[in-house]
């Protein structure tokens, strides 16, 4: 699913109005109806509703929602925050219609702000995509009052005061909603880790904006949906055999961190790889053979770390259809030497994670040795070591895009809504996963998944989008079974289902 800029969204609204065609006021009615349907499916009439409206079209939506909820016999009190002398045309139209059936309270200064009580619902329709400057004056006071109230807060389209695709200045006053119900497409702000407080749980509702326009509008930002992922997944041929699904090599583990190797190996096997060889320090040989009997084990000559001096005659690297390196390997000098040799000899895209990334960050000449189209899977701290500190989420997105494009890597920046930056300059945000997955070993599981997908012949961008989605989906299934708090990395592997 595409994520459009504010400017593009405005053009999309306009295009829909002209080409459907539909009168602007009817499009607003559709938006209000979609919000109302979402609301009535979740909240019953026992909870009084206070709707706070601005003077633009976001306020117009609020007035229309107030009318629709009043007609459904919800207990509604409507407020108009009078921060400017002018109202939008569609605001005025909905104002006239609401006045016929209900009263409206005007907020011009602080003493007009009502006390908002527990069990009430506050609907925020003060400012939407038209936000052009930081909030101030009476708007700021109303936002503060809503934020300090015990009510459930629901933002219409976007929280008032939050810019949809650029950074807010420090000390901005922004609604902190429990829910955001947005029209038609997600906004970039909803996917940024530091803005979660200003988004809450977000839902999007379809308001029938032009599909044709969305299809031909260029964007570099995408939000992965289940439908898209279904198209990526390749069905298995009845006559296939284990040779059809590739042979992966994982270089993992060190003394005290063999668990990372086991987690990556099991996830790799659960993700459909045909054959798996795992290279581990000698101390990990029995551990791996015992816990992952399905894998072949290639012990390193070193007892505690990977040194790149195999104990047994090792096959050529070209034997393997995919190579994954990093989980649990540590950063010993011998391991650095192993990584240097591996990167120089590898011909195909690899999966590079954890300490392999830390070693690369400290030895930057290695960046040029990484095969093009390799997948790097840093968490934010590792990515910062690889690049630089960022000043905002949007600054980080720029750094991410440039790094992936310049080096021709696929970079999977892990977190809520993991961002996948590709060599062609696009960024895909993931839609699955939950906070229960913020626990040791989940990244090792992802490395195993991605290595298995590359081994099966998936293109690295497809592998990253599909693998990250299924990793999150398995995490969601695991959280359903045991709750988020008790979730462990191995539960994710056990919950993988590729159909
Ligand atoms: N355009 C369309 O066809 C549709 C628009 N819809 C709604 O319309 C919204 C956008 O409406 P508008 O473009 O009228 O914009 P808003 O309603 O977000 O803003 C209204 C006005 O507030 C002023 N303003 C900006 N920043 C301010 C600040 N910090 N303090 C005080 N005033 C400020 C602006 O000059 C702007 O004209 C969307 O978010 C959505 O809710 C929906 O009805 C769906 C259809
Ligand atoms: K709003």
Residue 131 CB–ligand 1 contact under 6 Å: yes
Residue among 35, 65, 132, 202 to mutate when testing ligand 1 (max atoms within 8 A of CB) = 132
**Residue 62 pLDDT:** 98
| Per-residue model confidence (pLDDT) at position 151 | 98
- How many domains is the chain built from? 2
Considering only residues 303 and 312, tell me which one the structure prediction assigns the higher pLDDT. 303
Nearest ligand atom owner, CA of 135: 1
Same domain as 272, residue 154: no
Q: Is 417 annotated as a binding residue?
A: yes
Determine which helix (DSSP H) or strand (DSSP E) holds 221, and give its type and residue range. Answer: strand 221-223
pLDDT surpasses 90 at 252: yes
95 pLDDT exceeds 80?
yes
User: CB count, 10 Å around CB of 252?
Assistant: 35
Q: How far is the CA of 130 from the centre of ligand 1 (A)?
A: 4
Question: Quick one: which ligand is closest to 58's CA?
Answer: 1
Q: Is the same domain home to 191 and 234?
A: no
Q: For 109-123, 234-248, 260-274, which range has the lowest pLDDT when averaged over its residues? A: 234-248
Write the CATH number for 126.
3.40.50.10260
Ligand of minimum distance to the alpha carbon of 153: 2
Residue 1 domain-assigned? no
CB of 61 closer than 6 angstroms to any ligand 1 atom: yes
Mutation choice for ligand 1 from 12, 34, 57, CB with most ligand atoms inside 8 A = 57
* pLDDT given for residue 369 in this prediction: 97
* Domain ranges, residue 266: 228-494
Other C-beta atoms within 10 Å of 287: how many? 16
Q: Scan for tokens 């994670």, then name that residue.
A: 353
In short, whether 495's Cβ falls inside 6 Å of ligand 1 is no
CB 300, CB 279: distance < 8 Å: yes
> Which ligand places an atom closest to the C-alpha of 59?
1
Best CA proximity match to 4, nearest among 218, 285, 251, 271: 218
Q: Tokens 């994520």 belong to which residue?
A: 3
Two structure tokens written together for 154: 């629901």
Question: First vs last Cα of the chain: how many Å apart?
Answer: 21
Sign of the torsion angle spanned by Cα atoms 106, 112, 116, 122:
positive
Write out the H or E segment, with its range, that includes residue 100.
Answer: none
Determine the Cα–Cα distance for residues 298 and 285; give it in Å rounded to an integer.
8
Residue 429 neighbours by CB under 8 Å, 6+ apart? 3, 191, 221, 222, 223, 224, 417, 418, 419, 420
Q: Are residues 198 and 247 in the same domain?
A: no
Give nearest CA residue, ligand 1 atom 24.
131
CA distance readout (Å), 232 to 351, 462, 498? 19, 7, 11
With cut-offs at 50, 70 and 90, classify the pLDDT of residue 312.
Answer: confident
In a domain, residue 318? The reply is yes
- Give me the count of residues in the chain: 499
- Cβ–Cβ < 8 Å for 341, 268: no
- CATH code at 453? 3.40.1190.20
Pocket probe for ligand 1: among 56, 65, 159, 173, the residue whose CB has the most ligand atoms within 8 Å is: 56
Judge whether 499 lies within some domain. no
Asked whether residue 210 falls in the same domain as residue 246, the answer is: no
Q: Residue 447's closest CA among 363, 323, 313?
A: 323
Q: Are residues 315 and 175 in the same domain?
A: no
Q: Is the CB of 36 under 6 A from ligand 1?
A: no
Distance CA 139, CA 107 (A): 9
C-beta 155 within 6 A of ligand 1: no
Task: Give tens-digit pLDDT for 333-366.
Answer: 999 999 999 999 999 999 999 999 999 999 999 9
214 shares a domain with 72: yes
Q: Give the residue, by CA position, lying nearest to ligand 1 atom 20.
A: 56
* Domain presence at residue 169: yes
- Per the annotation, does 260 bind a ligand? yes
């Amino acid at each position: 699913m595409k994520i459009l800029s504010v400017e593009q969204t405005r053009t999309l609204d306009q295009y829909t109005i002209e080409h459907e065609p539909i009168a602007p006021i009817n499009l607003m009615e559709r938006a209000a109806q979609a919000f109302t349907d979402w609301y009535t499916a979740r909240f019953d009439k026992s909870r009084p509703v206070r709707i706070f409206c601005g003077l633009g079209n976001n306020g117009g939506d609020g007035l229309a929602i107030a009318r629709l909820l009043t007609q459904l016999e919800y207990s509604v009190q409507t407020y108009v925050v009078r921060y400017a002398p002018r109202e939008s045309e569609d605001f005025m139209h909905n104002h006239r219609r609401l006045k016929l059936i209900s009263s409206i309270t005007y907020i011009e200064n602080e003493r007009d702000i009502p006390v908002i009580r527990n069990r009430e619902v506050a609907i925020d329709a003060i400012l939407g995509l038209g936000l052009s400057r930081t909030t101030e004056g009476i708007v700021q006071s109303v936002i503060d009052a809503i934020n300090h109230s015990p009510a459930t807060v629901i933002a219409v389209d976007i929280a008032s005061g939050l810019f949809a695709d650029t950074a807010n200045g420090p000390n901005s006053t922004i609604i902190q909603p429990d829910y955001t119900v947005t029209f038609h497409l997600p906004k970039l702000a909803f996917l940024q880790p530091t803005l979660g407080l200003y988004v809450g749980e977000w839902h999007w509702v379809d308001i029938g904006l032009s599909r044709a326009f969305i299809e031909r509008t260029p964007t570099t930002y995408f939000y992965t949906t289940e439908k898209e992922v279904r198209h990526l997944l390749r069905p298995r041929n009845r006559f296939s055999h284990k040779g059809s699904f590739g042979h992966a090599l994982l270089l993992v583990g060190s003394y005290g961190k063999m668990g990372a190797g086991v987690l990556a190996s099991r996830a790799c096997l659960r993700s459909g790889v045909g054959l798996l060889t795992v290279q581990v320090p000698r101390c990990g040989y029995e551990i791996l053979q015992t816990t992952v009997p399905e894998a072949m084990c290639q012990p390193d000559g070193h007892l505690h770390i990977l040194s790149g001096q195999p104990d047994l005659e090792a096959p050529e690297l070209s034997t393997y259809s995919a190579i994954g390196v990093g989980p649990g390997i540590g950063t010993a000098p011998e391991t650095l030497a192993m990584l240097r040799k591996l990167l120089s000899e590898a011909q195909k895209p690899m999966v590079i994670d954890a300490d392999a990334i830390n070693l690369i960050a400290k030895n930057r000449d290695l960046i040029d040795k990484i095969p093009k189209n390799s997948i790097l899977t840093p968490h934010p701290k590792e990515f910062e070591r690889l690049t630089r500190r960022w000043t905002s989420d949007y600054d980080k997105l720029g750094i991410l895009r440039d790094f992936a494009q310049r080096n021709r890597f696929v970079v999977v920046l892990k977190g809520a809504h993991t961002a996948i930056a590709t060599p062609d300059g696009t960024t895909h945000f993931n839609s699955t996963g939950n906070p229960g997955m913020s626990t040791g070993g989940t990244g090792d599981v992802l490395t195993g998944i991605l290595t298995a997908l590359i081994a099966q012949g998936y293109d690295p961008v497809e592998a990253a989008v599909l693998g990250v989605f299924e990793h999150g989906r398995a995490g969601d299934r695991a959280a359903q079974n045991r709750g988020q708090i008790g979730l462990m990395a191995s539960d994710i592997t056990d919950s993988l289902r590729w159909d």
